């Protein structure tokens, strides 16, 4: 959104009622016909603005898109999300964030897309990303930690999303599925994809991509039984700007604590309480083969602690976690 | 070098003696004056080419630059270095390799620069990179291994450089200083900088940057006591194309073995035999503080095994390794 449209929107929101075209044109130093053009542009972006002759303009409803103007009123952060780069369509927000990070963009910048043409999850799997309904965004971080700690940020982001869901959509009971998904029952609601560029002693930057199925009402056939959305679970539409801001607010708190600690110890009680897999039998599928066992916890380094049948406990750093059916 | 100059050079090398302008023009399908222009271009690039009326052209000496035409005759690799991107000047070969890798360049491609304007080592330290004398190059790899194994490639590359030095400059006794340097005595001859882009389960690409002080005869004052070159140590000029090819040849063998193994176990005897720090007292300087101890080996995962004064042994993943003075 351009600067003038953004200012007009800001004035309309502050006024709460009607604002004359004359007042707007004077306060922004533009002509009344320029005001009219920008009102038209805002309407095309989804803002419902009434125009009543003799009274002026009134903002009836926001566009509901996760743009800076609608997200920032909810933000309580110091730096996360203060620079928010919104696009109608990106190939993938992680890809664009990586390019931005390479040019030196500051820590905490967030790239958001209304739709993705090539959205993806871990290991190059695709992530269904239609426009107008969901959240797809990527955070750019520059933590001064060795690369070996970076995978912990996946769990940290999952915890932040879970906290935001508890506050914005409290009627839904979601759970964190190690290492990077938020589930309702056994259906996926949200995925986290953490990427980094690093050398052994130094992390150049980290990109945390997050996709949340918010208001999508229908999935392609092949996903119907394994994916869900906040709308499908709660029966109501959820505000994308408010939810995005809430995730960023919770993430900043967790991230600042994490930088002060050596590991995930401070957030383990939370990760255990809301874990989908804790104390359950799982199969860990890795490129080298499967490992079966019972999850006995998450280690301070973020690894899954797995009790094997032969009484050994192993730490699992990566892989897919498949749940074994629970006995009835 | 353009295709026609490259072909003329190839013909001159094969002939071993004089080749008439007429023969060259016929076999390449170009005019004799075009042949003359390309001979001029080759001379400007440093090739000494005699021209004797009635006899034709003869290649007297190569340019000695690490370009494809001079490196490839020494290469025995299957894929490493088969695509060799040479530049007179780059900011840094790692930076250019990263950009190339992001566009999908195939595994094994190598970026070489005659000089670097912003060459650097680990942790953003600068790497002195004048033109015409040394080797600065970066390999692009796409190993299908979890990110956690990638730092092992630093030691693998150091071993490859050491093997190449043993074969090209056998009169010098160099040693590998964990994790990423090759030293003669306590002076640095070569540094390795391994960078990667990854997600927890998958490595997108790895860039291994290598700088070798080959024929440089003098260092800036501040480096005089801590850096050396093959020329300064051996008293003779070393062929950069031959040395580069030798490093790539040795690296490919080690890399293919590494992909078949789970760790560095297969190369540990070599790393121990030529280690500068093995069984010596060192201080490991990390961002979080210093750790002192005696090196008892290198672990299969590439970590330094350090025996502390309190009899504990710890594994060190990263940091600077400072040698304590040996008692006389």
Chain A residue with CA closest to B285: the answer is A201
Query: Of the candidates B212, B14, B255, which has an alpha carbon nearest to the alpha carbon of residue B121?
Result: B212
List all residues 6 or more positions away from A17 whose beta carbon is below 8 Å from its beta carbon. A58
Per the CB < 8 A criterion, the answer to whether B45 and B37 are in contact is: no
**B122 annotated as belonging to a binding site for a ligand:** yes
pLDDT over threshold 90, residue A292: yes
Q: Do B200 and A144 touch (CB under 8 A)?
A: no
Dist. CA A312–CA A297, nearest whole Å: 14
Chain B residue with CA closest to A318: the answer is B201
Cis peptide before A179 (omega within 30 of 0): yes
Q: Do B318 and A204 touch (CB under 8 A)?
A: no
Q: Is B326 helix (H, G, I), strand (E, B) or coil?
A: coil
Per the CB < 8 A criterion, the answer to whether B225 and B188 are in contact is: no
Q: Do B199 and A194 touch (CB under 8 A)?
A: yes
Rounded to an integer, the average pLDDT of A100-124 is 91
Q: If pLDDT is split at 50, 70 and 90, which confidence band does A124 have?
A: confident
Note the pLDDT tens digit of each residue in B53-100. Answer: 889 999 988 889 999 999 999 999 999 999 999 999 999 999 999 999
Q: Render B66-90 in DSSP notation, one character per residue.
A: --HHHHGGG---SSTTSSEEEEEEE
Q: If pLDDT is split at 50, 70 and 90, which confidence band does A326 have?
A: low
Please state, in angstroms and as integers, the Cα–Cα distance from residue A213 to each residue in A92, A154, A165, B26, following that order.
Answer: 16, 18, 12, 67
Rounded to an integer, the average pLDDT of B104-118 is 95
Tokens of B324: 């304590």
Q: If pLDDT is split at 50, 70 and 90, which confidence band does A43 have?
A: very high
Q: Do B197 and A196 touch (CB under 8 A)?
A: yes
Q: Do B151 and A200 touch (CB under 8 A)?
A: yes
Query: Of the candidates A280, A256, A275, A278, which has an alpha carbon nearest to the alpha carbon of residue A266?
Result: A256
Q: Does domain A281-323 have CATH number 2.30.40.10?
A: no
| Of the partner residues B147, B148, B195, the one whose CB lies closest to the CB of residue A199 | B195
Q: Do A122 and B154 touch (CB under 8 A)?
A: no
| Of the partner residues B98, B123, B201, the one whose CB lies closest to the CB of residue A318 | B201
Dist. CA B296–CA B279, nearest whole Å: 6
CATH class of A3-61: mainly alpha
pLDDT over threshold 60, residue B246: yes
Note the pLDDT tens digit of each residue in A220-279. Answer: 999 999 999 999 999 999 999 999 999 999 999 999 999 999 899 999 999 999 999 999
Q: If pLDDT is split at 50, 70 and 90, which confidence band does B248 have?
A: very high
b (16+ CB within 10 A) / e for A90-124: bebbbbbbbebbeeebebbbbbbbbbbeebbbbee
Dist. CA B170–CA B155, nearest whole Å: 21
Dist. CA B289–CA B129, nearest whole Å: 31
Residue with tokens 């850096």: B227
Q: Is B62 helix (H, G, I), strand (E, B) or coil?
A: coil
Per the CB < 8 A criterion, the answer to whether B182 and B158 are in contact is: yes
Tokens of B136: 């600065």
All structural domains of chain B with their residue ranges: 3-61, 68-273, 281-323
| Of the partner residues A98, A123, A147, the one whose CB lies closest to the CB of residue B201 | A123
pLDDT score, position A327 = 54
Average pLDDT of chain B, as a whole number: 93
Dist. CA B199–CA A203, nearest whole Å: 13
Closest-CA distance, A172 to chain B, in angstroms, reads 29
| CA B284 to chain CA centroid, nearest Å | 26
| Of the partner residues A202, A204, A317, the one whose CB lies closest to the CB of residue B146 | A317
pLDDT score, position A2 = 85
Query: Of the candidates B196, B77, B81, B94, which has an alpha carbon nearest to the alpha carbon of residue B143?
Result: B196
pLDDT score, position A173 = 96
Look at B2-16, B134-148, B240-254 and tell me which has the smallest mean pLDDT. Answer: B2-16
Dist. CA A173–CA A274, nearest whole Å: 9
Please state, in angstroms and as integers, the Cα–Cα distance from residue B255 to each residue in A161, A188, B79, B107, B321, following that order.
Answer: 40, 39, 11, 12, 25
Residue with tokens 């993943």: B317
Chain A residue with CA closest to B262: the answer is A288
pLDDT score, position B196 = 94
Average pLDDT of chain A, as a whole number: 93
Percent of chain A past pLDDT 90, that is, above it, reads 79
List all residues 6 or more positions away from B235 whose beta carbon is below 8 Å from its beta carbon. none
Percent of chain B past pLDDT 90, that is, above it, reads 79
Dist. CA B83–CA B133, nearest whole Å: 22
Chain A residue with CA closest to B200: the answer is A151
Query: Of the candidates A111, A133, A85, which has an alpha carbon nearest to the alpha carbon of residue A239?
Result: A133
**A93 annotated as belonging to a binding site for a ligand:** yes
**3-state DSSP of A140-166:** EECCCCCHHHCCHHHHHHHHHHHHHHH
Pairing of the two strands A313-316 and B84-90: unpaired
Q: Do A200 and B124 touch (CB under 8 A)?
A: no
CATH architecture of A68-273: 2-Layer Sandwich (3.30)
Per the CB < 8 A criterion, the answer to whether B107 and B77 are in contact is: no
Residue with tokens 């025995």: B76
The DSSP 8-state label assigned to residue A226 in this structure reads T
* B92, B100, B199, best to mutate vs chain A, most A CBs in 10 Å: B199
Rounded to an integer, the average pLDDT of A26-49 is 92
Q: If pLDDT is split at 50, 70 and 90, which confidence band does A202 have?
A: confident
Note the pLDDT tens digit of each residue in B148-157. Answer: 889 999 999 9
Which secondary-structure segment (H or E) carries B294?
A: strand B289-298
Query: Of the candidates B36, B71, B6, B46, which has an alpha carbon nearest to the alpha carbon of residue B249?
Result: B71
Please state, in angstroms and as integers, the Cα–Cα distance from residue B278 to each residue in A136, B122, B154, B157, B185, following that order.
Answer: 50, 22, 17, 18, 14
Tokens of B78: 């299957």
* A104, A201, A259, A302, best to mutate vs chain B, most B CBs in 10 Å: A201
A202 or B246: which carries more pLDDT confidence? B246
Query: Of the candidates B246, B226, B111, B227, which has an alpha carbon nearest to the alpha carbon of residue B165?
Result: B246
Give phi and psi for A3, each to the nearest 5: -55, -40
Rg value, chain B, Cα = 22
Q: Do B202 and A144 touch (CB under 8 A)?
A: no
Q: If pLDDT is split at 50, 70 and 90, which confidence band does A299 have?
A: very high
Give phi and psi for B190, each to the nearest 5: -155, 145
* Dihedral sign (CA A150, A151, A152, A158): positive
Q: Render B94-114 in DSSP notation, one character per residue.
A: HHHHHHHHHTTPPTT-EEEEE
Dist. CA B298–CA B268, nearest whole Å: 7
Dist. CA B149–CA A319, nearest whole Å: 15
**B93 annotated as belonging to a binding site for a ligand:** yes
């Amino acid at each position: 959104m351009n600067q003038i449209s953004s200012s007009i929107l800001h004035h309309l929101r502050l006024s709460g009622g009607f604002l004359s075209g004359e007042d707007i044109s004077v306060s922004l130093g533009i002509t009344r016909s320029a005001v009219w053009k920008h009102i038209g542009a805002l309407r095309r972006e989804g803002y419902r603005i009434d125009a009543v002759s003799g009274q002026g303009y009134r903002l009836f409803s926001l566009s509901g898109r996760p743009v800076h103007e609608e997200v920032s009123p909810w933000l309580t952060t110091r730096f996360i999300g203060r620079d928010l780069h919104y696009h109608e369509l990106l190939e993938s927000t992680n890809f664009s964030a990586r390019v931005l990070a390479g040019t030196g963009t500051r820590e905490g910048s967030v790239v958001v897309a209304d739709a993705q043409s090539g959205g993806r999850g871990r290991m190059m799997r695709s992530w269904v990303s239609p426009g107008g309904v969901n959240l797809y965004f990527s955070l750019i971080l520059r933590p001064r930690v060795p690369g070996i700690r970076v995978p912990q940020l996946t769990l940290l982001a999952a915890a932040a999303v879970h906290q935001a869901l508890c506050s914005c959509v409290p009627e839904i009971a979601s759970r964190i599925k190690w290492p990077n998904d938020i589930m309702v029952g056994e259906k996926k609601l949200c995925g986290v994809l953490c990427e980094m560029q690093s050398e052994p002693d130094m992390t150049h930057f980290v990109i945390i991509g997050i996709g949340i199925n918010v208001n999508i009402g229908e999935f392609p056939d092949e996903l119907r039984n394994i994916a869900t959305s906040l709308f499908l679970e709660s029966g109501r539409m959820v505000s994308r700007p408010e939810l995005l801001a809430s995730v960023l607010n919770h993430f900043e708190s967790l991230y600042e604590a994490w930088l002060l600690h050596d590991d995930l110890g401070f957030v383990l009680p939370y990760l255990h309480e809301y874990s989908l897999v804790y104390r359950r039998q799982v199969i860990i599928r890795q490129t080298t083969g499967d490992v079966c066992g019972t999850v006995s916890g998450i280690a301070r380094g973020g690894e899954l602690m797995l009790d094997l049948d032969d009484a050994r406990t192993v730490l699992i750093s990566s892989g897919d976690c498949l749940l074994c059916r629970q006995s009835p």
